[in-house]
């Protein structure tokens, strides 16, 4: 795909949409993760034009939205028609994404999450000298886990000038 060099200036995110296989299970997961109730819960839509706007023949779906404290919404969308195949979105697969949650004390949050039964993909990690340029990220701590459908999620405790 060729894209012109003209800046478009899209600089503010409104929400992130995550396709899910079971809306109720995903609402429970994200409610427990964020502590926030959905602002939209179990809305439905059935529209051929909306489906076509997404490159699908139709769209019959249920969805919910959980807002984060910084006003970013997480839209959880269960397509009922057409039902899609799982992406199995490993971090290294082009087109996969991750959603990152900023925390003040990664070790404490990680411990609470592990005690609550969240499965992490690996141990928490701290960026070390020689691994990352520029040095602004040195000391930043991260840990990765998945939601029930395998969407990549991260918790991060930025350090120094790393404003992520």
Question: What residues does each domain of the chain span?
Answer: 15-81, 98-157
Q: How far apart are the first and last CA of the chain?
A: 29
Q: Residue 162 is encoded by which pair of tokens?
A: 């790393």
Contacts of 6 (CB under 8 A, 6+ apart): none
* CA angle centred on 29, ends 118 and 39, rounded to 5°: 145
pLDDT at position 160: 67
Q: What are phi and psi of 77, to 5 degrees?
A: -125, 120
Residue 164 pLDDT class (50, 70, 90 cuts): low
CATH superfamily assigned to domain 98-157: 2,3-Dihydroxybiphenyl 1,2-Dioxygenase, domain 1 (3.10.180.10)
What's the CA gap between 8 and 19, in Å, rounded? Answer: 27
Give the residue-averaged pLDDT of 2-23. 88
Q: Specify whether the CB–CB gap between 54 and 48 falls below 8 A.
A: no
Q: What is the DSSP letter of 27?
A: H
Please name every residue paired with 78 in a beta bridge, in sequence order, or none if there are none: 62
pLDDT at position 63: 94
pLDDT reading at 111 higher than 70: yes
More confident: 24 or 7: 24
Residue 71 pLDDT class (50, 70, 90 cuts): confident
CATH number of the structural domain 15-81: 3.30.720.120
pTM for the model stands at: 0.88
């Amino acid at each position: 795909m060729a894209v012109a060099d003209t800046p478009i200036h899209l600089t503010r995110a409104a929400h992130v949409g995550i396709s899910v296989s079971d809306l109720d299970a995903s609402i429970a997961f994200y409610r427990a993760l964020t502590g926030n109730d959905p602002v939209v819960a179990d809305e439905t839509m059935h529209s051929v034009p909306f489906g076509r706007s997404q490159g699908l023949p139709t769209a019959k779906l249920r969805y919910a939205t959980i807002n984060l404290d910084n006003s970013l919404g997480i839209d959880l969308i269960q397509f009922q028609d057409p039902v899609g195949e799982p992406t199995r979105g490993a971090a290294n697969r082009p087109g996969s994404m991750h959603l990152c949650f900023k925390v003040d004390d990664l070790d404490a949050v990680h411990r609470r999450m592990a005690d609550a039964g969240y499965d992490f993909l690996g141990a928490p990690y701290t960026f070390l000298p020689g691994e990352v340029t520029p040095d602004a990220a040195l000391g930043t701590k991260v840990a990765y886990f998945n939601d029930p459908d395998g969407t990549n999620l991260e918790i991060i405790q930025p350090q120094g000038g790393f404003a992520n």
